[in-house]
């Protein structure tokens, strides 16, 4: 299976990267091909809502979204990896998701598998409610097949994350595919 991990953390060596790398390692050990795309350091512009794409054509903006589009449409699974920023995904990852509108039907027809990897400093039981609601809505709308979520409560620093159970959970999720 070809897996694309959309890495939505601007911190290249942070807690989200630990989970993404753990997931990729587990998936690779099960024979899957994983590619991590760093959307935070890519050239990506927000959707301007012009609808010139007709919801299925080329976007008028010429940036790295075309590369991501090609990779997603050639993949079997997408993994959304993001730290929790004010109870949602990062703006950089959200910009990529918003641009799905230019290939919505094609993406919808792929029936990709999906997963969510996230970390947060906060450890309250409601910490991930808004993010998981958004992810579940995206899964439903685009007809992804949800393969699971790893939600790293209390992972405010890489050392906290490494000492937690969440890297192993991400590894096991990748390995289980």
In angstroms, the CA 166 to CA 101 distance is 32
Q: What is the pTM of this model?
A: 0.97
> What domains appear along the chain, each with residue ranges and CATH number?
2-175 (3.40.50.360)
Instruction: Provide the mean pLDDT of the chain.
Output: 96
Mind listing the pLDDT tens digit of every residue in the chain (177 residues)? 999 999 999 998 999 999 999 999 999 999 999 999 999 999 999 999 999 988 888 889 999 999 999 999 999 999 999 999 999 999 999 999 999 999 989 999 999 999 999 999 999 999 999 999 999 999 999 999 999 999 999 999 999 999 999 999 999 999 999
Q: Give the integer Cα–Cα distance in Å for 41 and 7.
A: 10
pLDDT tens for each residue of 80-118: 999 999 999 999 999 999 999 999 899 999 999 999 999
Q: Do 36 and 20 meet the contact criterion of CB atoms below 8 Å apart?
A: yes
pLDDT for residue 58: 86
**Alpha-carbon separation of residue 161 from 29, 105, 164 (angstroms):** 22, 37, 5
């Amino acid at each position: 299976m070809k897996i694309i991990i959309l890495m939505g953390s601007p911190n290249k060596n942070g807690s989200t990267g630990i989970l993404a790398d753990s997931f990729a390692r587990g998936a690779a050990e099960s024979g899957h091909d994983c590619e991590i795309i760093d959307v935070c350091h890519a050239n990506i512009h927000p959707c301007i809502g012009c609808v010139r794409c007709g919801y299925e054509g080329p976007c008028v903006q010429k940036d790295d979204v075309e590369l991501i589009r090609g990779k997603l449409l050639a993949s079997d699974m997408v993994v959304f990896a993001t730290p929790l920023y004010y109870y949602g995904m990062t703006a950089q990852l959200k910009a990529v998701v918003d641009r799905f509108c230019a290939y919505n039907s094609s993406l919808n027809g792929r029936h990709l598998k999906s997963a969510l990897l996230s970390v947060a400093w906060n450890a309250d039981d409601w910490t991930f409610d808004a993010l998981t609601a958004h992810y579940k809505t995206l899964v439903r709308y685009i007809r992804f097949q949800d393969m699971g979520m790893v939600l790293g409560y209390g992972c405010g620093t890489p050392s906290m994350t490494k000492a937690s159970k969440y890297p192993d959970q991400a590894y096991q999720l990748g390995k289980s595919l």
